[in-house]
Structure 1
Amino acid sequence: MSSMTAPEALAELAALEDPKARTVNERHGDAHGVNLSKMRALAKRIGMSTEFARELWATGDVAGQLLGLLIAKPRELSADEIDQMVRTTRSAKAHDWTVNYIAKKSPLAEELRLRWFHDADADARAAAWSLTSARVAKDPSGLDLDGLLDRIERELRDAPSREQWAMNETLAYIGIHHPALRERALEIGERLQVLADYPTPPNCTSPFAPLWIAEMVSRQG
């Protein structure tokens, strides 16, 4: 592991800043301008260290927090620590990485999913829906899929954007992975029209649930 200190790591990140990249990133909720490939190279040089990751997270610096997420070992973070990370980050990408790189890979993933599922904080609920999507696709035993569709039907249209995106993913995953519920998932998506107008580049799959479901099911054949 590198003997680098947190201030030294932040200084290296600052030296990698690209003002144009920061302008683009800030439009998407990320206050940094560091190329992610260069950030990953720095993380590889530092090596895995959850303690160092904690130091970087505590700085509140967005690039520092992203770097910390790349070097943290999910098993070494407590449920309370992961919970605090989800609630306190100011960065859209740090929220996404916390969920995908830490919470989903933690042995505490199901505990966190249940903790967050009816939380007052929309970012925590978004994290719960992301963890739920993973369960829907890989380990649905014990999940009330009809109950999930009931809640999606009630809440999807008016949910805050981050939560809406994650909830919509769960809707699509139910339709993709569970043929018995596919018709209902498609009907909910068609009726609510959430993300129907989302600009989708050529050769990319639309996030509009009915199109997403149809595309992925066609690939299964």
Structure 2
Amino acid sequence: MLVAAAVCPHPPLIVPELAGAAAHELDGLRAACREALAELDAAAPDRLVVVGGAESAGSYGGRSAGTLRPWGVDVTVGEGEPVLPLSLTIGRRLLGERRADGFEAVAFDAEPAGCLALGETLAREGRVALLVMADGSARLTPKSPGYHDPAAEPYNDLVVRAVADADAAALAQLDPGEAAGLWVAGRAALQVLAGAAGREGSGGGLKGRLLADAAPYGVGYFVATWT
């Protein structure tokens, strides 16, 4: 069963070495991520699994490595040849010395039913905690990577409310086409969380807490815990 979850963003700039002189702009998000991970620790799960979006699905062992070399900084985390996609690499970096029991990449365009089923499978054995790497819309302002779309802000707010309220049912209902049009990179990963918590209810009895909600570069970044 799912006993706790943390939702964190995965921009490369959350790694201070990559952000350089602008590192302070994401200090609040970094602090919120540290607080969220401390709440996962407090839940004392039997298993910790990191979930994040990627171009294609894949399952990786808990010691797997990822690198930020493609983004211009020689930072590698984990052991062995780097295989983790960006979202899971950032997740591995946020974990620090913590041990993960596995990493699950879910395709950005995965159908909701498959995401929900994956979440149910991940939460089936023992007391499970998930670290879910999920960005919001990248079309919030004219300077956003996807440029501005007036529909982006209300949609991003909807996602943030669902995460803040541990509303698994609302996350389960997110439409993949609408999310893709608004450049919501975290939709599939959040629906894995919904499946793990119980798609029909409000987080399977877990309570949500929003720790951060910001868009410093026109992209929705939020941090929350379900405990």
Give the structure-2-normalised TM-score: 0.25
Which structure carries more helix by proportion? 1
For the pair shown, which has the larger CA radius of gyration, 1 or 2? 1
Which structure carries more strand by proportion? 2
